[in-house]
Structure 1
């Protein structure tokens, strides 16, 4: 299996390191020409969603990535990646719009509002969760919700997409990545 990691901005290297620990080959998507190389799954990392969205448009990556995800490409999105996938962003439009949720940017506040906790992920168990200027999901079909923290939705799975408010790449727990790889192997 080969996973592509969006590498225009954000913490893409940390995701690559986690995937390599599980024996997954990785590649970086930095420009539209990179999409011609075959890959089996996609990671949308945390970072600045506004910057990432702007770069996706400028680099002509938005529509091709939307089309690949909508066609079933297994996708793991963390923090800003969740915002990129969301159909609705409170007080804003949307970017890729493939995930039927509404998201609130910086829902936990500024950088000082960052925190670490552990919470249940349905089907996995208690996992570590690091939140950095994180969004959370304000509206989603209850059947896709996999994790909550303080009654806020912080993790969902929908068809071929796993989307998280937190950063699994900043902890040693590989179970989210293992679930992602299983999803990709089924495709």
Structure 2
């Protein structure tokens, strides 16, 4: 891996792939779509985009990338999941289909569609720990977004939102080389979260 320009794939089975490719390129990564195991083997890291998590899970199994991806995660490959990608990285999900599988890797319980349906989508400033200019919120786009119900001791909470019920729920977490957000920074033009991930990839490569 080139320490300056790591190769970062975007799982291109379903979801907002193009936007992530653009954001990664702006963060000085070599970005490419990944659909098959041989393409996964050629990247240093992976982004799992937003979309529909049950469909993504089925397609990952159909295209034969689920097991190789689980193996790469277990071996320490950095992965960033947004929205449906957060669900895919969760060790346990609530309100999922009985046959829904995840990649896993982050010791957290995630609730699907926790913030409501499509017509209840919203945008909000999110304070994200560890970013340059941390005092400036990330513009969070929440579309049928999940939230994190609970985390294990090895999970670092980077951002939370308080619900109308007065409960704080994590919406950005990290465990080792794995990063996940409930929201979509790739839709905003603010590439600080992608740059944070690319820096994580560089550090893992070193």
User: Scaled by the length of structure 1, what TM-score is found?
Assistant: 0.95
Q: Larger deviation: 17-26 or 138-147? A: 138-147
The structure 1 residue matched to 2:86, chosen from 82, 85, 102, is 82
Summarize deviations over 1:85-140 as a string: whole Å, max 9, x none: 10000144641121110000000111111000002111222211000000000011
**Aligned-residue offset at 1:83:** 0.5
Aligned-pair RMSD on alpha carbons?
1.3
Give secondary structure in 2 for the equivalent of 1:121: coil
Summarize deviations over 1:10-41 as a string: whole Å, max 9, x none: 001100001111232111111233234x2111
| Aligned 1:29-48 pairs, distance under 5 A | 29-36=34-41, 38-48=42-52
- Report how many residues are paired: 186
Structure 2 residue aligned with 1:70: 74
| Aligned 1:95-114 pairs, distance under 5 A | 95-114=102-121
**Aligned-residue offset at 1:172:** 1.4
Is residue 2:28 matched to residue 1:16? no
User: Scaled by the length of structure 2, what TM-score is found?
Assistant: 0.86
Unaligned 5+ runs, structure 1: none
Give secondary structure in 1 for the equivalent of 2:127: strand
